Structure 1
Amino acid sequence: MNSKPFLNTVLSPRLLDLYDISNTVVVIIDVFRATSTIATALYNGAAKILPVDSVPRCIELGKITGGITAGERDGKVVEGLQHGNSPAEYTRSFIEGKTLVLTTTNGTKLLHMALERGASEVITGSFPNLTAVCNYLVKANKNVILGCSAWKDKFNLEDTLFAGAVIQRIKEHFTIHCDSSLMAENMYTLHQHDMYSFIRNTTHWHRLAAYGLEKDLEYCVTPDVANVLPLYDNGALVVAAE
């Protein structure tokens, strides 16, 4: 009898409906830049992050909670919000002890989709918290969905590379009968030593580099620079207890 839990990689939010995600840990992956920013803000002492899927809701919750409103659409700060979706904005001196209300083009949308479809646990992952994600998934010993936020439902490379990095580290603990996982791991293995140059090929790099965000993007593929585990609990992302 096979006692290992299953791991699948979902390459776009459009594909989430094809999977049973009950009794499953769903990892929300939005490398450029939502889940990198979430890990960074919590690592630097944010009290909690409220992920919301619309700008009006973000503004409303900011007023109710006294939190900092932040977000982007198409890579740009949204009018009416106080801050953007750059990890560099959320230094300890700025964010410690505060609530961040965040809305983004892709990542926060997928997070709400996973909740609506009955995921038993939702966490967020990116290279800055790679080890924390891997350790948590092994310890949880549950089925896993690596959920790539993609770009407006279209496949993207950087989220898939992160899924591959996770799989490379934890695959012996899981049953993986999933071609998208196989592809993700192979792609990561091929490019793990030239990530800074490889990501320059991505459409998201060209989109965001046009706004001068190259340093952001390099940070977002640097492992373990914000190694905490953001866990969705009662409406907010908080640092999971050890």
Structure 2
Amino acid sequence: MRKVEVCFSPELIHLHELEGKIVVVVDIFRATSTMVAAIANGVKEILPFPDLESCRQMQQKGFLIGGERNGLTAPGFEMGNSPIAYLKENHSGRSLAMTTTNGTQAIEKSKQASQILIGAFPNLQATVSYIQSQDEDVLIHCAGWKGHFNLEDSIFAGAMVKSLEATHVTEDDGAIAMKQLFEKAGHDLSGFLSQASHAKRLQNHGIEHDIDFCLSFDLYDLVVKVNPEGFLVKV
């Protein structure tokens, strides 16, 4: 059987072998949830950037630009990091350049993988089904928060490990622990994650609707993948 493992932070990714594996990048609050929402609602492609200035310059090339730091829209950017914004506004057919505090950094550090997928609760089952159709081991790469472990990405990893258990085994202690955490707390994700540090940061910004969206299962039958040119696109 194929294997699945979990990396809890981009700061730990150097400890994992990426070549020949599918890497699923996860930033539940909110980057990967926003990326999935954007693609599902008509954005043609997303080009991720680790830094603000390179992303900002893409506006001159006709890109819609989205920038977030510390949970807030970065100065001078049209969009922040809210999935709800892409449900309310029509950006159909647009190319989006995007940079966030954690998620785009994790994508940047995953580039040695054979495939990079974008994972979120709203497209969990679609992503699992795609992975099960591929003959490769899987690494779930949690974006965390500024290098630290976080609850929301890690419990998503547990949900994915559990969803893959028919086809993938794990000998990874972190994956085993997160699967058990999801089995115990997954019935009330919003209640469990209300104690998460980043959920509290976002609540302080008054964006509870974003949190609700980010914790909604299987809204879209959609797989988002990084293509050879570095763009996030629908598979």
TM-score normalised by the shorter chain: which range applies?
over 0.9
Question: Residue 188 of structure 2 is aligned with which of 186, 189, 194?
Answer: 194
Q: Are the counterparts in 2 of residues 44 and 92 from structure 1 also a CA contact under 8 Å?
A: no
CA distance in 2, matches of 1:180, 1:201: 20
CA contact (8 A) 1:39 1:227 kept: no
Q: Does 1:235 align with 2:233?
A: no
* Structure 2 residue identity aligned to 1:159: D
TM-score (norm 1): 0.94
CA change 1:193–1:167 in 2 (3 A) is: same
Alpha-carbon distance, 1:92 to partner: 7.0
Per the alignment, residue 115 of structure 2 pairs with 121
Per-residue Cα deviation, 1:101-122 (whole angstroms, up to 9, x for no partner): 110000100100111xx11110
| 1:18 matches 2:15 | yes
1:159 pairs with 2:153: yes
The CA deviation at 1:60 is 1.3
Residue-by-residue CA offset, 1:164-184 (whole Å, 9 max, x unaligned)? 111111112113100000111
Matched, 1:41 2:35: no
Secondary structure in 2 aligned to 1:182?
Answer: helix
The answer to whether structure 1 residue 111 and structure 2 residue 107 are counterparts is yes
TM-score, with normalisation over the residues of structure 2? 0.97
Is the 8 Å Cα contact of residues 45 and 92 (structure 1) preserved in structure 2?
A: no
Question: How much does 1:199 deviate?
Answer: 1.2
Name the % identity: 32
Unaligned runs of 5+ in 1: none
Provide Cα deviations, 1:91-145, integer angstroms capped at 9, x if missing partner: 2751211111110000100100111xx1111011010111111011111120110
Number of the residue aligned with 2:174: 180
Indicate the residue corresponding to 2:2 in structure 1.
5
Q: Which residue of 1 aligns with 2:131?
A: 137
Aligned to 2:93: 97
What is the Cα-based RMSD across aligned positions, in Å? 1.1
Q: Could you say what secondary structure the match of 1:50 adopts?
A: strand
Aligned to 1:80: 76
Distance 1:141 1:8 in 2: 15
Which whole-Å deviations, capped at 9, do the CAs of 1:144-176 have from their partners, x for residues lacking one? 100000000100000011111111111121131
How many residue pairs match? The answer is 234
Corresponding position of 1:57: 54
